Structure 1
């Protein structure tokens, strides 16, 4: 069988990407857990947000590196397949990230 090349249409603007990213990162969980976090951290709740923001920035930067190294729609799958040479693991990673 021949190999088919599929490409995603790149039609999102920078504004769309920013709002999509913020929506994915923040989600509804912030409204559910904010009271518990403030109760545990007290006046230092802002420090918790800064620590979480730094951790999210490192995660975002690692995805930037990954997507620039493997500029394909399935960079996580390709990285796992090349690093571990296990098709089953690559398949699982691909589905977990969906």
Structure 2
């Protein structure tokens, strides 16, 4: 298997002004463009949790989008965790 094509789960916690600004919708759009499944969820502490599954390369591209400065609102920091995919998602949803 080529590097970057193995299936992974990316969990990213995005901190900043990311609630109430269309951030989850924007994230969902980017994820669907990349063919990823998962969810973008508002957390009680003001962060957005993004869970995405797909090829490592596509998940890395989504992470670049999250950190890239073009997202709505303001991203102050992104903490990421990589794991094996759970396979529980169909599509990409906002929660």
Range of TM-score over shorter length: under 0.3
Larger C-alpha radius of gyration, 1 or 2?
1
| Higher-strand-fraction structure | 2
Q: Which has the higher contact order (CA 8 A, sep 6+)?
A: 2
Scaled by the length of structure 1, the TM-score of the pair is 0.27
Scaled by the length of structure 2, the TM-score of the pair is 0.27
